[in-house]
Chain A
Amino acid sequence: MWWVGAGYKTRNVDPSALTPPSFLLLNSRPQLLLVISVTMAKDMTLLWASGSPPCWGVQIALEEKNLQGYNQKLLSVAKGEQKSKEVLEINPRGQLPAFKHGKIILNESYAACLYLENQFKSQGTQLIPEGAAEVGLMYQLIFEAQPLAQKIGEVLYYNWKVPEGERHDSAVQRNKEALKEEMKIWEGHLQGCGDFLVGKSFSLADVIIFPVFAYFIRNGGSEERYPNVAAYYKKLRDRPSIKKTWPPTWIDGPGMGTLKDI
């Protein structure tokens, strides 16, 4: 085990992560850590789409774990590139994100995030908190984010998912009501929260859920009706890992206001 001080949080470095020639050339431990991170990242590849919360979560996790320098390719869902051969070779489901680390493949964003935190525990930001109550809350929230994302999708993509002959106004209405109820639950979760979803530190809950809130707001979600969500969004949007990975297609201007009545 290598113990590193010198202004960094004390951390263990797994000797098996060292590439012997690089290590021998270095004079300082911070440089050593940097080489290890870059070496690890060079074995990683992420295929992603702009504005996709699952893709964005993985990108945030990679930044937070100091794994900048990973290979990446931006693909277009509008052009159907998620069904291209290069994606299907990594992910037979033809979905993004598609992530590789050496021979290891992780095509589910939560799987990739949990893997990265567990395998790189000792570098970058600690993304799983210490106390039992906080761990429990973090896991609960990331799974509650599933119905949140799903309900947003049911409203935004109704016409894309449901063939014309099967569409009903009653279903559209029900989906909108369900999303409203869901957003109220999250307003409640954020009531009295500090800067983060769980306790006093940034965690996997923020990695996974910030992109979903940002997506809601991007698509017209009301900041007036959901002030706690809006406040959380504003507090975190300038965090370096988030700012750096902000969806490139969002920089061009506002999105569709589809969710403005929610």
Chain B
Amino acid sequence: MAAKSMTLLWGSGSCPCWRAMIALEEKNLQGYNHKLLSFDKMEHKSQQVLDINPRGQLPTFKHGDTVVNESYAICLYLESHFKSQGNQLIPDGPEEQALMYQRMFEGLTFYEKLGSVIYYDWYVPEGERHDSALKRNKDGLVVELGLWEGYLSKGSGSFLAGKSFSLADVVVFPTVAFLFRFGLSAGRYPKLEEYYALLKDRPSIKASWPPHWLEGPEEELLLKDI
């Protein structure tokens, strides 16, 4: 069985890892070998990761002898290789397909803007931090949230590419889940809330929900004022 020849090294509470795990579930590849590593203990820089991914990053993924790192690459590879099993994640029709690709790649910007706020202290050494920079990053995230609220309001269906769940949802949903995990206030972004509610119980998403999130809220609610 294909899943048995796959190995995923991952960390809990990582959007990129979560994307890969949702894709694996959607393509009916449950049963893949996996190892949960700790970012706090710097296990992403351990030899077992570096052997497969010289960048020392997670997710790190192998299928037989084929190594595919980078979460979007894993998702595209899985859909391409397992097109005919599980859910179809890339629509056939040109308009829906184009919209899916467009939202997928805007999703990278979305994640970056989110990270510039919630990971500010992780990315920026103490001596270089400025309130003005964090404020600017928060303003950037607000603009970005406005765009996605708009996309979800005007869309032709409940999913990012229209009427069907697609790779755009696989890669972007984790970012949306993070918004609410980090305290995005109820009522301010109703369409994002609706999207979150629609998908949070989808089997592939529920099955791959970050385990430490199930233990209760722990994060500082960095987004409560956004």
Contact = CB atoms under 8 A, between A and B. Distances in A.
B102 interface: yes
A171 B132 CA distance: 16
B72 interface: yes
A158 interface: no
Interface in B98-116: 98-99, 101-102, 104-106, 108
Nearest to B68: A136
Contact of A115 (B54, B76, B97, B130): B97
Interface in A189-216: none
B64 to A, nearest CB: 8
A9 to B, nearest CB: 21
A111 B54 contact: no
B207 to A, nearest CB: 24
B55 A111 contact: no
Contacts, number: 96
B198 interface: no
B102 A111 contact: yes
A142 B77 CA distance: 12
B128 to A, nearest CB: 5
B219 interface: no
B45 to A, nearest CB: 13
A104 B93 CA distance: 11
B130 A144 contact: no
A140 B102 contact: no
Given A108-B106, A110-B105, A132-B77, 13 more contacts: A93-B147, A104-B99, A106-B102, A107-B102, A108-B101, A111-B102, A115-B98, A135-B80, A137-B68, A139-B76, A140-B67, A168-B127, A170-B125
10 contacts: A92-B147, A93-B147, A109-B105, A111-B98, A136-B63, A140-B68, A143-B71, A144-B70, A165-B132, A166-B132
Interface of A: 92-93, 101, 103-112, 114-115, 118-119, 128, 132-133, 135-137, 139-140, 142-144, 146, 162-163, 165-166, 168, 170-171, 174, 185, 188
